[in-house]
Amino acid sequence: MKTDDLIALLASDPLPPQARPKWQVAGALLIGGLVVLTAVVALGIHTDLIHWLTRPTIALKLFWLLVMAIATGVVVRRLSRPGQTAGMALWVWPLAWLVMAALAVLESWGEAQTQGFWLGQTWNVCALNILALSVPLLAALIWTLRDMAPTQPSRTGGVAGLFAGCVAAGLYSLHCTETGLGFFTLWYGGGIALSGLLGAAAGHRFLRW
């Protein structure tokens, strides 16, 4: 029997998969989140954090990340079940990125230094830092997903990587001092996308039946 046929047969089984208990999933994600938060604290938290987080562009960035994290979390939950499709929530991430890009272009028209607007001061480390911070969360997700019988391992891993990247980017905001929407679009979006690619590779390797 071909592998695809076997997967289709197993996915059609009406019995529910023996998934990890919810508390165990939550515990794994909590541990991953604490590791990431510890790393951010080691990097250094922004001074006057409360005032900083209430700035319009920072608040918009956090809302952007929250929307994408919720959407990708919903998709991961769906894909963790055999035979389930990603659903419309899968399109939220690219649509949210396009909206941020459009807002960034509009904002850049009033900027004298367009290159600085898009590159900021930390372009060379931002995306890589977000990718590095996403690894503990992604590892926790892949570990929990292994017992949840996803039938699309690469896609499931990729969306899990996007989710981990969004959460890591949100925590990285406690350290980052950039304020430009162009910077967020390129380098935050790039770091999250890299996390998605890493997740797709990990899903292909570790979530295959």
Give residue 82's pLDDT band: very low, low, confident or very high (50, 70, 90): confident
* DSSP output for 59-76: HHHHHHHHHHHHHHHHHH
Q: What sign does the CA torsion over 209, 160, 183, 49 have? A: negative
- Rounded to an integer, the average pLDDT of 65-91 is 88
Of 87-101, 111-125, 149-163, the range with the lowest mean pLDDT is 111-125
Cα–Cα distance for residue pair 48/7, rounded to 1 Å: 53
- From 126, 130, 134, select the one nearest 183 (Cα to Cα): 126
What are the structure tokens assigned to 94, written together?
């690219």
Is residue 118 included in any domain, yes or no? Answer: yes
Q: Are 133 and 160 in contact (CB under 8 A)?
A: no
Is residue 151 included in any domain, yes or no? Answer: yes
Q: Say how many C-beta atoms besides its own lie within 10 A of residue 113's C-beta.
A: 9
* pLDDT, tens digit (0-9, with 9 covering 90-100), for 8-28: 665 665 444 444 556 666 777
Q: What is the pTM of this model?
A: 0.83
Is residue 90 included in any domain, yes or no? Answer: yes
Predicted pLDDT of residue 115: 63
Is residue 171 included in any domain, yes or no? Answer: yes
* pLDDT, tens digit (0-9, with 9 covering 90-100), for 95-120: 999 999 998 888 777 655 566 678 88
Is residue 38 included in any domain, yes or no? Answer: no
Residues 6+ apart with CB under 8 A from 30: none
Is residue 60 included in any domain, yes or no? Answer: yes
Domain encompassing residue 180: 49-206
The count of domains in the chain is 1
Max Cα–Cα distance, the chain, nearest Å: 64
Is residue 184 included in any domain, yes or no? Answer: yes
Is residue 181 included in any domain, yes or no? Answer: yes
